[in-house]
Amino acid sequence: MSAYPALQRKIAEQITRIDEDYRESTEMPVPPPDWVKAVDTLAKLPTRGDSWIGNILNEIHKTAAAQYKNTMEEYRKAVRVRHSLLERMMPYWRKLSQTLDQVDKTIIGLHERSKVIDSRMDEYEEIRKKTDKAARMLSSSAMTQFFISALVLLIAIGGAVINFNLIALPMSEMVGGGSYIGNFKTSNIAALVIILVEVAMGLYLMESLRITHLFPVIGQMDDKMRTRMIYVTFTILLILAGVESALAFMRDRIAADMQALRQTLATVTEAQPVNSWIPTVGQMVMGFILPFALTFVAIPLESFVHSSRSVFGSGLAGLLRLISFALRLLGNIVKYLGEFLINVYDVVIFPPLWIENLIRNKTHVGDVAEAIVNEEVS
Amino acid sequence: MKRLLALSLISISLLVSGCPDTTTHSQGVYMLLDSSGTYRNEIKRAQAIVNYLLGTLQSGDSLAVARIDSGSFSEKDIIAKMTFDRRPSVTNQQKRLFKQKVDDFVAKVKGSAYTDITGGVLQAVEYLNETGAGRKHILIFSDLKEELAKGHIRDFPIQLSGCKVVALNVTKLRSDNIDPRVYYKRVEQWKERIEAGGGEWRIVNDLERLESILAD
């Protein structure tokens, strides 16, 4: 890696040299040789009336000119061949140059990546040494991930609620509006199940695409199996999106019918319905898109799951610290309260004890004096 | 993968088909309309209550409207009765049909000579028990003044366990105005009778607050 710049420079220099050589190879036609001048001079000699000398000289000139022309043509032909050969080499040189540029970019990228790897290795070393800095860094990173993913999950939950409202009413047309499972309407549970199945399919799809890594079993599948899983999950999602779109259409119709019935029951003149296809189409499009949008829940979910462990751990540690502080505070309060009460008791008990002691001393002094008197008498 | 798919499909089918419980959450409402001479003019107000009930009751609920006449313990006195279909679209059609029947009755109603409220209540209990509804309501749209034809025997306890009886629009009669104790005594007698039979008693005279009719 360290020798690469030198190597690259060397190759570049070589390419430049080849290029220069090529340019230099385009030589000018060589000047006619010296004997041609001699022939020219002979040709220009005055004939002085001798026709045969003149003829000879003319013949010599013609022969020399023809030879010169032939020589020049052969020379040019040879040069043309050489140039064509050189020209054929040009793309290879350019390709070589481009390849080198690419190698240069890759090496620069590798160099930058190696810097990132170095910084990661430093962090890893810090983590291995269990330093406070590493702990703070990890905790802060997990906290950021936790809040961002929680925010995105909240948005996704909002989408799921809208989705639920789109399909809950028409589901009662399929599973019955009056049936219950426990305290919940069967139609509501069915709508919820469809949304959850969509989310689950989205998770499997993301796992199969290796975007998330929540299920190692899926990630470890061979490529053929994984591709099959991608197709299967995507097909199920597509079908569910179609079903939702149809349910959204049905919802629009049922809602319109209910509205008309309510107006009849309220003996209000039936309002002219808004004869527009826009709300219907809007609901259908939403019903179709939302399942695919929910697919991407997998990404923040993974971040949330991974970061929540660290965040909950930090939270629990904070809570334990708070409890320990409160208990220590309570202990100290009780301890000093005890001491205070002892002091108060001392203040209160001191006068009676002092008086008691005083009386006892007096009695004791009297007894001692009586004992001495008795001893002396005896 | 196959196991995963199978599990998903089984859970969907289980939850969608589920173990539906159609009885405990459904409501049954039986409304008695007094068509005696003194109360006949009030019947238009009852129409509004029926419309409110039609707007409130859901798929799977049951509703019946019957008249109180000289002998009310009879199926012939039932103007309209329906258990709404499980599908909301069909329920809406049934409600339209129900409303039409009640409207026809209101348009053609004739006053009866006597007022057999007890017979109507007995018929109501019978109908509501047959529907198997989880919550049973009997609505009596009457002044609660019972007048029986000669020979009709109604002075026996009524079994009303699990039924909520709501007296609606209990108007004061001319005699009540002279001595209000008559009115209170009449209402108290009905209350005692209903509660003795195991039912719950309530009076709703303010028809602007219809939502309190089916309140638990």
Write out pLDDT tens, residues A247-301: 999 998 888 888 888 888 887 666 666 667 888 899 999 999 999 999 999 999 9
Query: Count of H helices and E strands in chain A?
Result: 9, 2
Identify the weakest region by mean pLDDT among A286-290, B120-124, B141-145. Answer: B141-145
Mean confidence (pLDDT) of chain A: 85
The mean pLDDT value for A304-328 works out to 93
Kindly indicate whether the ipTM for this predicted assembly is greater than 0.85, answering yes or no.
no
B99/A179 Cβ within 8 A = no
* Structural contact between residues B31 and B67, judged by C-beta atoms closer than 8 angstroms: no
Residues of B in Cβ contact (< 8 Å) with A189 = 15, 18
For residue B15, give the nearest of A173, A189, A257 by CB distance. Answer: A189
**The predicted structure's pLDDT at residue A30:** 59
Facing residue for A193 by CB, picked from B4, B16, B88? B16
Phi, psi of B134 (to 5 degrees): -75, -35
pLDDT at position B1: 47
pLDDT number for residue A3: 66
Q: Measured on CA atoms in the order A307, A308, A312, A315, is the torsion positive or negative?
A: positive
Chain A contacts in chain B segment 140-179 (CB below 8 A): none
Q: What is the DSSP letter of B41?
A: G
Mean of the pLDDT values across residues B109-138?
A: 89
pLDDT for A238 beyond 90: yes
Q: Do A258 and B92 touch (CB under 8 A)?
A: yes
Instruction: Pick the residue from chain A with its C-alpha nearest to B19.
Output: A181
Contact (Cβ atoms closer than 8 angstroms) between residue A246 and residue A256: no
* pLDDT of the residue at B20: 53
Residues from chain A contacting residue B25 (CB–CB below 8 Å): 178, 180
Q: Which residue of B has its CA nearest to A261?
A: B92
Both structure tokens of A303: 């971040």
Give me the pLDDT at residue B178, please.
85
pTM passes above 0.90? no
DSSP annotation string for B114-176: SB-HHHHHHHHHHHHHHHT-SEEEEEEES----BPPTT----S----TTEEEEEE--PPPHHH
Interchain CB contact of B2 with A (< 8 Å): no
The residue among B81 and A75 whose pLDDT is bigger is: B81
User: What b/e sequence results for B127-155 when a residue is b if at least 16 CB atoms lie within 10 Å of its CB, and e otherwise?
Assistant: bbeebebbbbbbbbbbbbbbebeeebeee
Where is average pLDDT lowest: A258-272, A285-299, B27-41, B73-87?
A258-272
CB within 8 Å: A265 and B55: yes
Instruction: Using CB atoms within 10 Å of the CB of residue A291, give its burial: 0 to 12 exposed, 13 to 18 middle, 19+ buried.
Output: buried
- Give CA separation, A116 vs A88, A106, A141, A321, in Å: 44, 15, 17, 36
**In the predicted model, what is the mean pLDDT of residues B179-193?**
90
pLDDT score of B21 more than 80: no
pLDDT number for residue B61: 92
| Cβ atoms A283, A255 nearer than 8 A | no
Q: And the tokens for B177?
A: 């105005």
Check A173 against B87: CB less than 8 A apart: yes
Rounded to whole angstroms, how far apart are CA atoms A125 and A131? 9
pLDDT at residue A25 in the model:
67
Q: Report chain B residues whose CB lies below 8 A from the CB of A198.
A: none
Distance from CA of A99 to the nearest CA of B (A): 45
Contacts of A157 (CB under 8 A, 6+ apart): none
Tokens coding A132: 């406070």
Interface A:B, Cβ pairs < 8 A: 99
CB atoms A177 and B88 under 8 Å: yes
Tokens of A340: 């205070």
In this complex, do B88 and A186 lie within 8 Å of one another by their Cβ atoms?
no
